[in-house]
Amino acid sequence: MAKAITKRTENYSQWYLDIVKRAGLADHSQVKGCMVIKPTGFAVWENMKDQLDRMFKETGHVNAYFPLFIPKSFLSREAAHVEGFAKECAVVTHHRLMNDPNGGGVVVDPSAKLEEELIVRPTSETIIWDTYRDWINSYRDLPLLINQWANVVRWEMRTRLFMRTAEFLWQEGHTAHATREEAMEESLRMQQVYADFAEQYMAMPVIRGVKTANERFAGADETYTIESLMQDGKALQAGTSHFLGQNFAKAFDVKFLNKENQQEYVWATSWGVSTRLIGGLIMTHSDDDGLVIPPKLAPTQVVIVPIPKPGPEIAEVAEKLMQALRAQGIRVKFDDDEKNRPGFKFAEHELKGIPVRIGIGKRDLEKGQVEIARRDTKEKQFVPIDGAAAFAAQLLDDIQQNLLQKATKFRDDNITRADHFDDFKAIVNATRPDQTESWGGGFISAHWDGTTETELKIKELTKATIRCIPLDNEQEEGRCILTGKPSNQRVLFAKAY
């Protein structure tokens, strides 16, 4: 068997990389910063996408597709936007290669220079709002509720598979509204959709909050976020929903005739989640034996293993079990490979995170039973064959619940209140050698004076940033953790991915 996965207590980053590679989720490519999403990883993304797409459609959205390329001049129209994206983008300057007249192979044809450079979209607000100008004339054309599934490129120097790559897959919703209120409602609605998806499907608890001005999306008036906590005590921004005000409508001159027959700029939102969620999934649930994945998103939910090897009797029982499971919509596989022994297979299935394993042994069959093991707790038990399918189906629900409970407890256990900066630093700098080799400190709930200056100073001193101001915050009088200035609510700090 191949070498074991690095332990989390030894090297958390390496553990993560081992999981991603060994579970067949993704791989580095020869193109700097770009990843290859392997079939198992892509199957997880497909399951996520299918569910999210359903939720978007249930909330009235339709899909469309806009160009990959954005003319350079479009980026510049919104001042904050260009500031945010110009520094890390792929620029197309030519449209042809040619044979080097000096015999140097294939080179760029200098005569095929573009009049205006094109940027590979890092996000599509600009090209979409340029299009919306033609689509929106009157209040009758609103709201416009459109989503796009697409690839985007941000030229990242320090990459990590799924978490941060130059190219990634995502969805981006771009909606247009007649009023400020409607647009604000939409931003919050989609933040809630993301929160529901994270908790109900990914079994990943999230805190809904609003970003500080400093952490806002480039071009937004408000950025709403869902923040989750990884096993190593670092936060992950899992999804964002932006209230864009009239910024892009003004930049691209998108007006509508309102009911009072007056021209008015359109109100906008945008919102997105990406393949980054797969990274969050891994770092929320997996263990030293490999991937742990919530049943609702698992490409294979149940695997049946013959012990010690396939035979007609076992195959017959397996076939019936598979039919019963598939009838309930459960994704099941029969691992009848003859090359490998059960022990090897068990380890492989654990590594790949298949939630439930059913072992069918010759001797067990004589007793009319099979062995059912769950991936999350590693518990095993014998179950009568007749009830096995129902048992496994129930077990999938239990695992889904258990993963959410466990992750929620972990998250809640790692939100610490701090009222003095020394305590703050102690929390951020604490180690947890029992958990991971690198410990982020979890969330810290502390008072802040509301200025970007203080926020940046705390970041400089501790590497912790304000992840969000929770939406369900209670008002509480207090003093800023750094400056001692008055504050009326706590915000959440953390080191973040």
Contact residues toward a second copy (CB under 8 A) are 27, 29-31, 34-39, 41-43, 45-46, 62-76, 82, 86-98, 105-106, 108, 117-120, 127, 130-131, 134, 140, 146, 150-151, 153, 155, 167, 169, 339
Q: How far is the CB of 349 from a second copy (least distance, A)?
A: 18
Nearest to 385 by CA among 375, 395, 372: 372
Contact 421, 214 (CB under 8 A): no
Minimum distance between the CB of residue 393 and a second copy, rounded to whole angstroms?
A: 23
CA dihedral 14, 20, 24, 26 (to 10 degrees): -120
Distance CA 194, CA 188 (A): 10
Other CB atoms within a 10 A radius of the CB of residue 60 amount to 11
Query: Least distance in Å: CB of 376 to a second copy?
Result: 25
Query: Measured from the CB of residue 263, what is the shortest distance to a second copy in angstroms?
Result: 21
Question: Where do the H-state alpha helices sit in 201-333?
Answer: 247-251, 276-285, 312-327
Beta pairing class for 478-479 and 144-153: unpaired
Give the whole-angstrom CA distance, residue 230 versus residue 494: 11
Please identify, using beta-carbon distances, which residue of 117 and 182 lies nearer to a second copy: 117
Report the residue number, 70 or 210, with the smaller CB distance to a second copy: 70
Nearer to a second copy, 151 or 246 (CB): 151
At closest approach, how far in Å is the CB of 485 from a second copy? 35
Tokens of 48: 């996520």
- Residue among 34 and 365 whose Cβ is closer to a second copy: 34
Q: Give least dist CB 108 to a second copy, A.
A: 6
* Nearer Cβ to a second copy (331/406): 331
Burial 329-348 (b: 16+ CB within 10 A, else e): ebbbebbeeeeeeeeebbbb
Q: Please, which residue, 65 or 380, has the CB nearer to a second copy?
A: 65
71 vs 450, which CB is nearer to a second copy? Answer: 71
Cβ 70 to a second copy shortest distance, Å = 7
Q: How far out from the chain centre does Cα 228 lie?
A: 10
